[in-house]
Amino acid sequence: MGLYFLSPGAGVRAGNAAAILAATGAKEIHSSASAPAASDPRLVALGFAAADARTTSGDAVAALRASIDAG
């Protein structure tokens, strides 16, 4: 039988990641580390893109990593 891992997620940000790891004992977390992204209005009008699109942010990932490393 395989191993299963439960990773805390939903709302994990740089400001709370270290506390979540400490409180749960988890070794992994899930975070979108996202920021708003511009959508092409033509694609939104045709239903091919969301008006409130988000994309992974390198700055958010770096802040998350720094927060975890600082513990």
The domain limits of the chain are 17-70
**Neighbouring-strand partners of residue 15:** none
Q: State pLDDT tens for residues 41-69.
A: 999 999 999 899 999 999 999 999 999 99
Report the sign of the C-alpha dihedral through residues 48, 54, 58, 59, in that order. Answer: positive
Q: Rounded distance, CA 35 to CA 55, Å?
A: 6
Half-sphere exposure of 21 (CA within 13 A, CB side): 17
Percentage of residues in the chain having pLDDT higher than 90 = 68
Q: In the predicted model, what is the mean pLDDT of residues 31-48?
A: 93
pLDDT at 71: 81
Kindly tell me the number of DSSP H helices and DSSP E strands found in the chain: 3, 2
DSSP state of 50: -
pLDDT at 2: 77
Instruction: Report which of residues 16 and 1 the model is more confident about.
Output: 16
Percentage of residues in the chain having pLDDT higher than 70 = 99
